[in-house]
């Protein structure tokens, strides 16, 4: 029996039989493998139809969530693909920053994050060629994926990284200036430099599909199967899309383990690990949501994001088993990773998904209440139900999450 190969294309898994028409021209040398010829052999308009029981599916979706992407994404023909940079689409129909964010998400993409001068140039070129903008309040600018809504002057990308660390940090002259004390969303100037502008201002915007190199690639598996995979065309320098080729079934049962990101080597003993979910820790020294978010990052995780009732129950147990929170008058609530800072009443996780899409939106009694018109950060009651809490002013304990330990993911062999 010939091996079946599953290909993950922008997170989409395709299954190729031996009849798949792909020619070998291996030019890529890294672990990011593109297979452009696949375009002719696959129907990209169809959602994921593969083996839903595959361990790959939650893994892919988890990674997509971590990148703020929707699940089951496909390569889109309305994006402009640049080798090694990614796919971009310049939307000329103006929108507010949050509307723009959601339009990108609906396309399986995200508001653009500029990771290099070259990417800024790519976007600048798209800007130049964009033609008239419709409904724009300032056609010199387009929204992209950063903001300082968490903390004034501290710019972070929509996936929560410090803007200064993602590879491009060139501001237009005189920017950022937080003009009118009301510029908290990211934009790009027509020449490619950055500017902070009013989130509510409708301007054009740029969506991005990820550069293949940003996807965590399971290269070891690919290499281990090089003999099998030779029949595939492999070219990381074209505008291809593929990330990695993984055998669904192999001639033997020795398929290597799926190795998850960085979680394997850093298992912390101050976290409680719950099989299949993740590791959790209630920090009992109360602080602000913004500070809590950073502390979780420093520990290699993030503020907890609840994706299921089971996870809410697990977090509730961790909460109840932990020591008493200090430095707060609120002992039964703790910050977790969601907020409604993008738009009042519209709750999104720190990964940019709606709570509903993330998989859990059960609130504590009479919550959310946006008390004093000042509760825009996410919390969880010790019973596992959600509560909106003030981002600042009052301090709370908080719950960090690290990815599930590697022992929760075993073989990918069918």
User: Which residue bears the tokens 């028409």?
Assistant: 21
Phi, psi of 178 (to 5 degrees): 45, 45
- The least CB distance from residue 138 to Ca ion, in Å, is 11
Q: Which is nearer to Ca ion, 273 or 338 (CB)?
A: 338
Please say whether the dihedral angle defined by the alpha carbons of residues 348, 352, 353 and 359, taken in this order, is positive or negative: negative
Report the distance separating Cα 133 and Cα 121, nearest Å.
19
The yes or no reply on residue 195 touching Ca ion (CB under 5 A) is: yes
Residue 178 binding Ca ion, by CB under 5 A:
yes
Contact between 364 and 351 under an 8 Å Cβ cutoff? The reply is no
Select from 106, 89, 107 the least CA-distant residue to 144. 89
Shortest CA distance to 29 belongs to which of 177, 161, 217? 217
Q: Is residue 21 at the binding interface for Ca ion, with CB under 5 A as the rule?
A: no
**CB neighbours (10 Å) of residue 350?**
24
Residue 193 Cβ vs Ca ion, minimum distance, rounded to whole Å:
11
User: Cα(36)–Cα(242) distance, rounded to whole angstroms?
Assistant: 8
Closest approach of Ca ion to the CB of residue 151, in Å:
9
Q: Is 369 in the site for Ca ion (CB under 5 A)?
A: yes
Residue 136 makes contact with Ca ion by CB under 5 A: no
Q: How far is the CB of 77 from Ca ion (least distance, A)?
A: 34
Based on the shown chain and the rule CB under 5 A, indicate whether residue 12 belongs to the binding site for Ca ion. no
C-alpha separations of 209 from 89, 101, 120, 159, 246 in Å: 9, 13, 15, 13, 22
Please say which residue, 15 or 363, places its beta carbon nearer to Ca ion.
363
Q: Which is nearer to Ca ion, 73 or 195 (CB)?
A: 195
CB closer to Ca ion, 294 vs 402: 294
Tell me: does residue 139 bind Ca ion (CB under 5 A).
no
Q: Does 105 bind Ca ion (CB under 5 A)?
A: no
In the complex with Ca ion, the residue whose CB is nearer, 237 or 369, is 369
Contact call for residue 98 and Ca ion (CB under 5 A): no
Using CB under 5 A, count the residues that bind Ca ion.
Answer: 17
| Residues 319-358 interacting with Ca ion (rule: CB under 5 A) | 340
Among 73, 184, 202, 263, binds Ca ion (CB under 5 A): 184
Shortest distance in whole angstroms from residue 370 CB to Ca ion: 4
Tell me if the bond preceding 353 is cis, omega within 30° of 0: no
Contact positions with Ca ion (CB under 5 A) in 375-404: 375-376, 387-388
The interface region with Ca ion, picked from 221-229, 238-246, 280-288, 370-378 by CB under 5 A, is 370-378
- Check if the beta carbon of residue 50 is closer than 8 Å to that of residue 15: yes
Which residues within the stretch 147-176 sit at the binding site for Ca ion (CB under 5 A)? Answer: 148, 175
Nearest to 388 by CA among 338, 318, 331, 327: 338
393 vs 303: CA distance, rounded Å: 19
Residues of this chain that interact with Ca ion (CB under 5 A) are: 148, 175, 177-179, 183-184, 195-196, 340, 367, 369-370, 375-376, 387-388
């Amino acid at each position: 029996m010939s091996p079946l190969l599953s290909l993950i294309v922008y997170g989409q898994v395709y299954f190729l039989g031996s009849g798949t028409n792909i020619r070998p021209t291996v030019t890529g040398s890294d672990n990011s493998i593109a297979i452009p010829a696949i375009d002719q052999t696959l129907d990209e308009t169809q959602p994921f139809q593969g083996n839903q029981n595959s361990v790959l599916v939650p893994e892919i979706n988890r990674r997509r969530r971590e990148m703020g992407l929707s699940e089951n994404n496909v390569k889109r023909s309305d994006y402009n693909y640049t080798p090694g940079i990614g796919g971009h689409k310049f939307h000329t129909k103006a929108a507010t920053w949050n509307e723009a964010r959601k339009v990108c998400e609906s396309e399986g993409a995200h508001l653009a994050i500029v990771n290099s001068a070259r990417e800024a140039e790519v976007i600048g070129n798209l800007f130049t060629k964009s033609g008239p903008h419709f409904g724009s309040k300032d056609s010199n600018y387009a929204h992209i994926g950063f903001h300082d809504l968490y903390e004034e002057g501290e710019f972070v990308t929509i996936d929560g990284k410090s803007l200064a660390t993602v590879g491009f940090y060139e501001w237009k002259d005189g920017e950022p200036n937080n003009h009118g004390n009301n510029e908290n969303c990211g934009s790009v100037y027509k020449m490619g430099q950055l500017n902070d502008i009013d989130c509510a201002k409708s301007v054009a915007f740029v969506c991005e599909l990820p550069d293949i190199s940003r996807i965590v690639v399971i290269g070891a598996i690919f290499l281990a199967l090089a003999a099998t995979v030779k029949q595939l065309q492999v070219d990381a320098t074209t505008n291809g899309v593929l990330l990695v080729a993984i055998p669904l079934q192999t001639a033997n049962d020795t398929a290597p383990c799926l190795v998850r990101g960085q979680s394997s080597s850093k298992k912390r003993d101050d976290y409680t690990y719950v099989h299949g979910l993740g590791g959790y820790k209630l920090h009992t020294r109360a602080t602000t949501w913004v500070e809590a978010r950073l502390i979780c990052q420093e520990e290699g995780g993030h503020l907890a994001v609840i994706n299921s009732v089971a996870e809410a129950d697990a977090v509730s147990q961790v909460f109840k088993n932990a020591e008493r929170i200090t430095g707060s008058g609120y002992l039964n609530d703790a910050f977790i990773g969601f907020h409604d800072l993008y738009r009042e009443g519209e709750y999104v996780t720190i990964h940019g998904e709606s709570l509903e899409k993330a998989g859990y939106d059960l609130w504590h009694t009479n919550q959310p209440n946006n008390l004093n018109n000042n509760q825009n950060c996410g919390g969880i009651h010790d019973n596992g139900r959600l509560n909106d809490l003030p981002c600042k002013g009052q301090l709370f304990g908080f719950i960090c999450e690290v990815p599930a330990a590697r022992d929760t993911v075993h073989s990918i062999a069918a």
